[in-house]
Every structure is written in structure tokens, then in C-alpha cells.
Amino acid sequence: MSATVTLMHVAREAGVSPSTVSRILNGTANVTPDKRERVEAVIQRLNFTPNVQAQALANGRSFSVGVLTQNISSPFYGETLAGIERGLEGSSYHPLVVSGHWHAEQEQQALDLLMRRRVDAMIVLGGVIADAALQDVAARMPLVAVGRDVRGLTERCVLIDNRGGIGQVVRHLAELGHRDIAFISGLETQQDAVERREGFEAAIQELGLSLRPELMRRGDYTEASGERDTEDLLRSGVTFTALVCANDQMALGARLALYRRGVSVPEDVSLTGFDDLFSSRYTTPPLTTVHQAVNELGQQAAETVLRLLAGELPQMTPYVPRLIVRESTGPVPPSFPAGGLLMHDSS
Amino acid sequence: MSATVTLMHVAREAGVSPSTVSRILNGTANVTPDKRERVEAVIQRLNFTPNVQAQALANGRSFSVGVLTQNISSPFYGETLAGIERGLEGSSYHPLVVSGHWHAEQEQQALDLLMRRRVDAMIVLGGVIADAALQDVAARMPLVAVGRDVRGLTERCVLIDNRGGIGQVVRHLAELGHRDIAFISGLETQQDAVERREGFEAAIQELGLSLRPELMRRGDYTEASGERDTEDLLRSGVTFTALVCANDQMALGARLALYRRGVSVPEDVSLTGFDDLFSSRYTTPPLTTVHQAVNELGQQAAETVLRLLAGELPQMTPYVPRLIVRESTGPVPPSFPAGGLLMHDSS
DNA sequence: CTGTTAGCGCGTTCAG
DNA sequence: CTGAACGCGCTAACAG
């Protein structure tokens, strides 16, 4: 554990004052070339790296932006984080991420932690914490929310059109002839889950189809939930030729339940997701879903924060998701007996 | 942007000295109950939160541990990070993560950044940076590496038995009657990739089977690579009844290539992965793979770091991966003609 | 038990 | 152009 070398050591070794070293480090003022060279040589030799904590204390900025995510290991948030990382790249800011696990108290603790670390700005990814808490934070520093419309901060929210996205899915299925469409939603505590469910209901009605509660299930965005709810749907004996899941992860679970029951996709049932996770290109068959460019959303959030930090104006462009048709959707099975049974036993 | 309230403000407001406030905050010494209550009330009222930067500067510890990961959005590293987060929970330490993207220079920059931020310890996940660089870091602070055997620091590496893991896979396949086993490896720049390939070769030979170069492909651990290499294998016309992928992500890509060609899993070809990513339970069919408990590895790394920080001794218990047999492996197709063709056209 | 005094490492005036 | 002095917010050692 060699003693840390400080700016003072460098100064002494180079025979100059600490201020001079500081100036060279930050380009704050002009310095005679010879002194500059001398100092830079010493910096190299001593392998000196400025202490960010001290810098932060001295000039009031920590050069870090707090990121409140929910579940760092979820593919969805993972990709968003990568986008944020990329968006911050090149700037001197760095992300400090903490998980809230969709739990209001934990989210509050995470925010507190980030405030204690004196982050210069905040990026919030989803979450169930009250808007008021976020408004408090926003009163103290630039804040950008992703996938969540915070009251009073709408112009600082990176939003996507969930209703429109689901609408595209439903119309796509309708064009393929589907009329018996089941739906698995997310938890109503999450805003986007509510929007997707409402979008589904609206689209169904716009198409003149009837909304059938027996075809609706409430999931929680996890694979396990998709599997469970699909299993339940299948077991209930209701008839459907298409299954719309409110996110890709549930579609993955649904896929497994269908497989277990010997139901072919898309021959017997068309299956769709939402998010277009990277891995959804690789499901069997590749999943028809709504592309969200989670990556780009994260990047956009980061860039907005940088702009805010630089004192510029927000300028948020709403994100329009688009349908990606792959191979998990197809025409209604010709053999499908109107009002008949769906179950096919695999050999 | 309300002016930040400092410990000094609290002290004045409560009519005590700053030290007293500090002592209450850290429980460093006893304080009269009435003063304590008074101070705590003021802290609440002013909504005071200590400045971690200042604390770090004052007592030399930043209470953050640097995490050098490779790709924050990869399911593999994501789960490891979640484990680290969990392992650090409860302690007053927090992770500061930076991605190296499997690029030596970026990894070095990431390390530099973390050193500048004066992290108290470091956790390194994989990577291709030279051992020497890690040894330098280890000389300055506690360091734990995951999935990588750093020369001279072996006792501080959380390792898994890659050779043994692949061996279990191969033996499992052999027991099912497979003799023509193809293999897709990872990049040779990554230590675990080398070990898995060597493990495969060793296992094949131990079983008295012959090593056939035409059944080996070199991938890069990505889904795209798994797809491409499988496609290549299929197109080459070689015969095989089982395909061993060096990780789950490539197995996912391989699954797609097989699907495209109408090759059934496991009826025509048995498929295996390595890592047991969370999503591998949900592939179609669920993937037979080697469970790595990436999550626990991360947690173990974090706990080890805490122990090191507390001045205790390492005590690393080597991790033994275990085979998880699911539904992507099965007996050799009875119709398989010895030395014959593999291709089946799906209807 | 508590207040006072020094720094931690660096940026930033302010005079030279 | 450059050095000396002060302060960022907090902890620790020292007297009381």
C-alpha cells in the first residue's frame, strides 16, 4: 500500500507551487512551457492521479450522475444502462448506479445514497416511488426520467408511446385474421404497464372486437409470470389464436408454457412481446415485438442530462416505437373452428 | 437549487460544536441524550445528509469499491453485478462500475478512472488486460478477480472449474450415446474460453473418442457467433448428433440456426450451453447447461472484498459448477445412420 | 462528555 | 505568469 502521491508532492518534486500544478492539470491559466514540461514529467514519473473527492469538495462538483435503476441484471435495464454509459462517454461525468428493485422504500434509500454522494444530476429509470420524491430531487439538481411521466417534469421525461406500440401489435394481428386475442399485462403499479393494457383495450375496441375479460391476465413482467399466466389461460379452456404479452420477458415465459402444452407458434397461436430485447431475435421462433431502442433511450437520457448540466434547454423528442414483425406471428390456423377448442395434443 | 446544508449549519442550529454532530453521526463517542436528541431533530428538520466526498477526504476512505466489468448489458455480467450489489448490501460500501468492453486499453482507462475516484477496493470481472496491470492495482488496495486467474493473486480469484464443467457436459452426452459431438468455442484471448475448449478436448479423448477438427468452430461468445458458426457447421455437411457451445449465448444463436434449417432439438441434435443464464430456463426447449451461479460468484467476490477491507484473510472456496439437464439433450436419434447424413427437411 | 484546533487534497482568489 | 493563503465539509487528536 504505497502512500498516495498528491498534487503537493508533484509540486515539490518539480520545484513549483501547488497552484501551478493545479493550473496545468485543469488548463486554468497559461504556464511557462518549461515549467509545464517539468511538471508533466514528474506527474508521469510519480504516476500521479488527482483525487476526485478533493476536486469535488473544492469546486462543488462531483462529476458523477446518479442513476436509479430497478434491477441491474434485467436485460431491459441492462441495455438502458449501457446506453447511459455510452451517452456519458467523452464527457467527464460518470454514472453511479443503484437499484431500487421496484420497491418505494428502496428507491428512496437509493436516492438518498446518491444525494449523499453529491451526484451532480440524476437519471431515473422507471420505478414506483412517488412523483413528489422525484420533484424534490429535481428541485436540487437536473433530473431526467426514462419510461415514466413525472408530474410537473414531463418535459424532462424520455417517454415512449406505449399505447401506440401495443396498437400496432393488435392491428398487425387483426390483419392476420385474429379475433380471439389474449393479453397478459404487467403490474398496475407501473405506469407503462397500465398504458400498455389500456392501449390493448383501446385497440381491440377500435377494431370493433369485443373486450373479453376471460382472455385477460395480470402478470408482473417476469418470465415466470408469463409462463404461469399462459398456463392458466390454457387450462381455463378459453379459445384464442393470438397471445399478446406486455413485455418480451413474459412472452418468453409464455413460449415455454405453450411448448409444454404442445401448442405450436405461430401455427396454433401467434405470440407477441414488447421491448425488443436483444435476445428476442433469438427465441424460437424469433419474436414479433415492439422495438423500443432501450439502448438509445438511455443514451438520449444521458445526453439530455449533460445538456442540462451545461445550462442548455431540455429539447426532448418523444420516442415512437415500431413494430418488428418476425416469425412468432402468422395467420389464423385455417383449421381453427370458430368458437371451437384450441387444444392440440402433441404426439 | 437550495444551498446545501452542512454539518456546520446543523451544529450552529443545535447550539453544539461540529465535532459533536460528527460523533452522533458516526457513533464515535457517547453524547448526552438531550444534545443527541436536539441534534437529531435539527438534522431531520434541515434534511441534512453528510457529504460523502468530504468524509472520504477526511478519513481517507471513500467507501466505494470499484468494479471493472466488461459489458454491463450482457446477461452474464448483469447477473454478476446484481450479486455484487447484494454482497455489498448492509455494509457501508457501494459499487462503482465501469465497463472495459473486452478491450485492454479501455480496461486500463477504467482502472485509472476508478483509482482517481479513490475506490477502497477493486473487483475485476474477466477482461483481457495484462495480469501486470492488475498486480499494480492489487499492490495499492484489496483486489478480487472473478473468472480469471491472475498470476500471483490466485488466492484472491473467484474461479470456477471450466474444464470440469465441460467434462460433465461431454460425459452426459456420451451416456446418451452421442459420439459425433461438435463444439463452438469462445475467443482464445479469454482464459475461460481456452479452459472450456481444453476441457472439451480432454473429455473427448478420455472417453476414447477422436478429436475431429472439422467439428470444431471458434466463436466469440455472442449469439450472432453461435448462429453463424452453427450455420457454417451445418453447411459444411459434417455429421454430428450433439452440439456443445462454450456458453449459453452462443447456444441461443445455435438454436436459431438449427430452427432455420428445420433441425429439431433434441430429436435430431442435442444442444448444450454453459453459464446457466437466467433466461436459459426459458429457451425452447429449455437448455441443458452448466450452472455457474454467476449471481453467487458476484456475491462471494463482494463478501471477500469486505473481508479483505476488514483486514481478515481471503479464504476463497473454489466454485464447482454443476450440470443442469433440461430438455435440449436427448438420446441419439435411432434413425441416425452411422456416418450418414444429418439433414432432415422439416415439412 | 465536549469544544477547539488541525488537517485530508485540491481549486481559487489575490497580490505580486 | 506564479506563489501564498484560504476554504470546500468533515473527522480526529487534543485539551479541558
Q: Is a pLDDT exceeding 80 seen at residue A50?
A: yes
Q: What is the mean pLDDT of residues B59-66?
A: 92
Residue A339 has pLDDT above 70, yes or no: no
Q: Which domains are seen in chain A, by residue range?
A: 7-58 (1.10.260.40), 64-158+294-321 (3.40.50.2300), 162-288+325-344 (3.40.50.2300)
pLDDT at A293: 86
> Percent of chain B having pLDDT more than 70?
96
Contact check, Cβ <8 Å, A78/B82 = no
Q: Which residues from chain A sit within 8 angstroms of residue B57, using beta carbons?
A: 51, 53-54, 57
- Whether the pLDDT of residue A24 is over 60: the answer is yes
**Which residue has its C-alpha nearest to nucleotide C11's C1'?**
A58
Select from A235, A243, A158 the least CA-distant residue to A200.
A243
**C14 C1' to A178 CA distance, Å:** 79
CB-CB contact of A263 with A269 (8 Å): yes
pLDDT, position B343: 46
Query: What is the least distance, in Å, from the CA of B105 to any CA of chain A?
Result: 15
Q: What pLDDT was estimated at residue A144?
A: 96
Residue A342: the pLDDT is 45
N residues, chain A: 347
Q: How far apart are CA A46 and CA A1, in angstroms?
A: 15
pLDDT at position B333 is 87
Tell me which chain A residues have a C-beta less than 8 angstroms from the C-beta of B78: 72-75, 78
Mutation choice for A interface testing from B115, B117, B249 by most A CBs within 10 A: B117
pLDDT > 50? residue B329:
yes
CA B9 to C1' D7, in angstroms, rounded, equals 16
pLDDT(A1) > 70: no
Q: How confident is the model at residue A103 (pLDDT cuts 50, 70, 90)?
A: very high
In DSSP notation, A250-318 reads HHHHHHHHHHHTT--TTTT-EEE-SB--GGGGGSSSPPBEEE--HHHHHHHHHHHHHHHHTT----PPP
pLDDT exceeds cutoff 60 at B2:
no
Q: For position B336, what pLDDT does the model report?
A: 61
How far away is chain A from the Cα of B51, in angstroms, using its nearest Cα? 5
Specify the nucleotide whose C1' lies closest to residue A19 (CA).
Answer: D3
Task: Map residue A319 onto helix, strand or coil.
Answer: strand
- Which positions in chain B touch A78 (Cβ < 8 Å)? 72-75, 78
Residue B344 has pLDDT above 80, yes or no: no
Peptide bond connecting B50 to the previous residue in cis, omega within 30 degrees of 0 = no
User: Has residue A176 got a pLDDT over 50?
Assistant: yes
- Please tell me the distance in Å from B118's CA to the nearest CA on chain A: 7
Cα angle at A231 between A227 and A234, to 5 degrees?
A: 140
pLDDT at A81 over 90: yes
Q: CB of A38 within 8 A of CB of A17?
A: no
**What is the pairing mode between strands B322-324 and B289-291?**
antiparallel
CA of B93 to C1' of D12 (A): 21
- Is residue A75 within 8 Å of B75, Cβ to Cβ? yes
Contact B256 A284 (CB under 8 A): yes
A18: CB within 7 A of chain C nucleic strand: yes
Separation CA B273–CA A71 (nearest Å)? 25
Residues 56-95 of chain B in contact with strand C via CB under 7 angstroms: 57-58, 60
* pTM, entire model: 0.88
Residue B345 confidence (pLDDT) above 60: no
- Taking 90 as the threshold, does the pLDDT of residue B132 lie above it? yes
- Using 50, 70 and 90 to split pLDDT, how confident is the model at A346? very low
DSSP A297-312: HHHHHHHHHHHHHTT-
Q: What's the CA–C1' distance between B57 and D2, in Å?
A: 27
Residue B64 reports pLDDT greater than 90: yes
Look at residue A140 and tell me whether its pLDDT is greater than 80: yes
Residues in chain A with CB shorter than 8 Å from the CB of B75 are 73, 75, 78, 279
Mean pLDDT of A229-244: 97
Nearest CA to B243 out of B235, B311, B234 is that of: B234
Please name the amino acid found at residue B158.
V
Q: Which residue is nearest to nucleotide C2 (CA to C1')?
A: B20
Going by C-alpha positions, the residue among B55, B51, B41 that lies closest to residue B6 is B51
pLDDT band at A251 (very low <50, low <70, confident <90, very high): very high
Going by pLDDT thresholds of 50, 70 and 90, the confidence category of residue A23 is very high
Which chain A positions have a beta carbon within 8 Å of B118's beta carbon? 4, 51-53
Average pLDDT over all residues of chain B:
92
- A59 CB-to-strand C distance under 7 Å: yes
Q: What is the pLDDT of residues B255-302, one digit of tens each?
A: 999 999 999 999 999 999 999 999 999 999 999 999 988 899 999 999
Q: Average pLDDT, stretch B50-78?
A: 92
pLDDT the model gives residue B342 = 45
Query: Is 70 exceeded by the pLDDT of residue A341?
Result: no
Chain B nearest CA to A341, separation (Å): 24
**Strand C contact at CB of residue A19, distance < 7 A:** yes
Span CA (A21) to C1' (D10), Å: 25
The pLDDT, as a whole number, for residue A334 is 82
Q: Tell which strand D nucleotides have any atom below 7 Å from a protein Cβ.
A: 1-5, 7-13
Residue A336 pLDDT grade (very low, low, confident, very high; cuts 50, 70, 90) = low
Question: Please, which residues bridge with residue B146 across strands?
Answer: B125, B158
